[in-house]
Amino acid sequence: MTKIIAANWKMNKSASQAEKFVRKLKKVDIENNVIIFPSFIALPAVSSVLGRESCGAQDSFYEASGAHTGEISPEMIKEVADYVIIGHSERRACGETDDILNKKVKACSDAGLKIIFCVGEQEGEDRRTTLKSQISHGLSGTDALTDFIVIAYEPVWAIGTGKTPSTDEISEAVKYIKSLYSCEVLYGGSVNADNAEEILKTCDGVLVGSASLDLQQFLKIARS
Ligand code: PGA
């Protein structure tokens, strides 16, 4: 079954580096649905090579236009990308509340963007309590089908640490998320070329950070 393989490049790769990477990526046959999330400044270059349908933004503001220095609107993103990540833990850590995230989700959906909404517990937090709260607040008033929302389960303690939950724990979390919100569920947090195949058996795809920066490693994951 086709899986979603999403590459979150975070604040890595300039526009020219990003373009070089995706030119090479494009030459490879991959059955899975690969989506690249470069920095905003590299997004047009990546989109011109791969097409809008394989690109996404790492964040969006919730207003369509106006006096919001430094922000990017959903409508601007839609010109070059079909996807957007909302609620990544690194953005939540910058002070993005459930209310802000809910506004972003609704604005992006209204602009026709497909949303990857990130949720996940911090070390020591009760997983189910956190997931329930983040999903009920962040996705309040939305519907996965009409709004095109995918949830990425990313335990904060697994991001960039080399630690992952067991596949049983991931399966359990994915099932729980689906019981709360009927949508496809990805896993993210220290996914690499060695663990991707096993992890992909438990979910509908993966959101990959550091291991997506290296072409050979990313190709192994994408072909898992
Ligand atoms: P990582 O990041 O793969 O480097 O752990 C994942 C993410 O933050 O989405």
- Does 137 participate in catalysis according to the annotation? no
pLDDT tens digits, 121-175: 999 999 999 999 999 999 999 998 888 999 999 999 999 999 999 999 999 999 9
Q: Give me the count of residues in the chain.
A: 224
Yes or no: say if 82 and 57 are a contact pair by the CB < 8 Å rule: no
Residue nearest to atom 7 of ligand 1 (CA): 209
Cross-strand pairs, 193: none
Tell me the average pLDDT of the chain. 97
3-state SS record for 187-203: EECCCCCCCHHHHHCCC
pLDDT tens digits, 52-73: 999 999 999 999 999 999 999 9
Residues having CB closer than 6 A to ligand 1 are 8, 154, 159-160, 188-191, 207-211
Q: Find, among 60, 78, 79, 80, the residue nearest to 70 by Cα.
A: 60
Pairing state of beta strands 4-8 and 33-37? parallel
Q: Which of 19, 88, 90, 184 is an active site residue?
A: 88
Crossing angle for the helix pair 127-138 and 98-110, nearest 10 degrees? Answer: 50
Per 3-state DSSP, the chain is made up of helix, strand and coil in percentages (nearest 5) of: 45, 15, 40
Residue 22 has pLDDT above 90, yes or no: yes
Global model pTM greater than 0.85: yes
